Amino acid sequence: MSKITVCLDPGHGGKDPGAVKGKRYEKDDTLRLALRVGKVLKANGLNVIYTRTTDRYDSPSEKAQIANKNKADYFISIHRNSAGNGTANGAEVLVHTLDSTGGKIATSIQKLFAKHGFNDRGVKARPKLTVLKKTTMPAVLCEVGFISNDKDSKLFDDKLIKIGDCIAKGFMDAIGLKFRSLPTILKSK
């Protein structure tokens, strides 16, 4: 059996900073978290590709094409949310269609986000989002808290490793693979 390939997409990049609050850019947060998720998935025996590993810009269509051309089995896009007044908070996971493999993965990840301190904004269908619409494999887009909310950003910083585990474990649980945390894997070597 060939290894499962997951394409991780750190949202935004390069000329597109994504959401911004002061000197904090969504593109930087998403890259940090995606690299952590990738490290954990690789340690669990999965093949991982990225739409970017540096501060580079690709359009959402180009990001979908990276996953499609590399014949990824799954696509996970990582983002941070934003709202003008700074009071909106919480995590949510977006999918093309709720009743799908992507919906199952999204629900599994979202439950773990809620367990680790984020307000539960649920799983939502967003069929018009390019990276969800143009990928040929099950795809989810994780909105990991609001960059515009100081409490969410503190949670993001303080629990980056745990949040990475939420995404990796939620994904692996949903597709029937046994998840092991990085410390557990390293201890067993």
pLDDT value for 183:
85
Look up residue 122 and give its two tokens.
């649920």
Question: Which residue type is seen at 102?
Answer: G
Q: What is the pLDDT of residues 52-82, one digit of tens each?
A: 999 999 999 999 999 999 999 999 999 999 9
Q: Dihedral of CA 160/129/52/41: which sign? A: positive
Cα 185 from Cα 188, distance rounded (Å): 5
pLDDT tier, 32 (very low <50, low <70, confident <90, very high otherwise): very high
Residue 52: strand, helix, or coil: coil
pLDDT value for 39:
97
- pLDDT over 70 for what percent of the chain? 99
pLDDT tier, 49 (very low <50, low <70, confident <90, very high otherwise): very high
pLDDT value for 70:
98
pLDDT value for 187:
84
Cα 80 from Cα 163, distance rounded (Å): 12
Q: Is the pLDDT of residue 1 over 70?
A: no
Look up residue 10 and give its two tokens.
């750190």
Do residues 85 and 146 make contact, with C-beta atoms less than 8 angstroms apart? no
Look up residue 100 and give its two tokens.
């799908």
- pLDDT over 90 for what percent of the chain? 93
Burial per residue of 163-176, b for 16 or more beta-carbon CB atoms within 10 angstroms, e otherwise: bbbbbbbbbbbbbe
Number of Cβ within 10 Å of residue 20's Cβ equals: 13
Q: What is the pLDDT of residues 132-143, one digit of tens each?
A: 999 999 999 999
Tokens 């199952």: give the residue. 104
pLDDT tier, 16 (very low <50, low <70, confident <90, very high otherwise): very high
Q: What is the pLDDT of residues 115-133, one digit of tens each?
A: 999 999 999 999 999 999 9
pLDDT value for 20:
97
Average pLDDT, the chain: 96
Look up residue 113 and give its two tokens.
């986000």
Number of Cβ within 10 Å of residue 81's Cβ equals: 21
Look up residue 56 and give its two tokens.
């580079």
Pairing of strands 91-95, 120-125: parallel
Number of H helices, E strands in the chain: 7, 8
pLDDT value for 184:
86
Look up residue 32 and give its two tokens.
């940090």
